[in-house]
Structure 1
């Protein structure tokens, strides 16, 4: 998820400190408190996150989060084997599905990426491949302005995935993925979630 870098933390009505974007509404707060930055180490889950990050490009994460149930229904719960079999009829179905983001390039990328995910199984699988780009250290931002948008590792991951046939996996999108699935911890240092993933110490 590409986070809003323009605000620092705020204290919620429950007394917990979060970045301002996480206090936007109940859905965003729940996502921040329970999902964002927690390790995702299963193929389906990681494929889903890559897919949704691609759909989020140019849009707000709140839009994607609200549509996530519809995305899951439309894309066979992001089962790579099922999505890899999607054909032109499925593309047309998806383009007419008002519950999702109806962008042909992103829809086609999601199908392409399902097939690329399957192909990676012969070489260790998507999870090990993506997690191999975990850096030696993680940022420790004090303000939202200090949260980077890319990193050397996200640039390298983007290039590596493209070589493996993935699409819509630019460096910024991949850094957002790395934040979302715990590969880096960009929780602000005074957030109640800092260090909660178990991947990095606070």
Structure 2
């Protein structure tokens, strides 16, 4: 199980879709859960991505439903279907840390009744600078993250943020999104990254 967390606007839902694509390409069976129930557009967007790679999506039947119940249903279905990978898209509303911790913590707890959560990936927009880092820290403290996905790492962002993220959050950058295309999410390769930084 992979939980996607992060502030709205970082490309989290898109990243979830691209991640599904990566797993499908590796011949893994994938299911997605739209646990961002506060934005109808988020579930629609996830369904659009999912339909492109023929992956099922579990979503609430109404806006504002309990995100944890969506995640729970998805975990049950994934287990029944012996799905290899369940990707859970979560809401990125930063109203306050306590609510965020409650919401993400609850999603994690209900999923873990059925199956372990292997990764909690924080999606971070590489162009956001210090503000992005401050937000990232809130998520990192709210739910133990296991890695970071850096989006929008194409162009001017030379990615000193990669170094900053690893230093500040103490978790590795695992994937990077290089642009808008469906295939531009790649595993992070420190070697070539450093070479690019020095180029």
Q: Counting helix residues as a fraction of each chain, which structure ranks higher?
A: 1
1 or 2 for the larger relative contact order (CA 8 Å, sep ≥6)? 1
Q: Counting strand residues as a fraction of each chain, which structure ranks higher?
A: 2
Give the TM-score, by structure 2 length.
0.31
Give the TM-score, by structure 1 length.
0.31
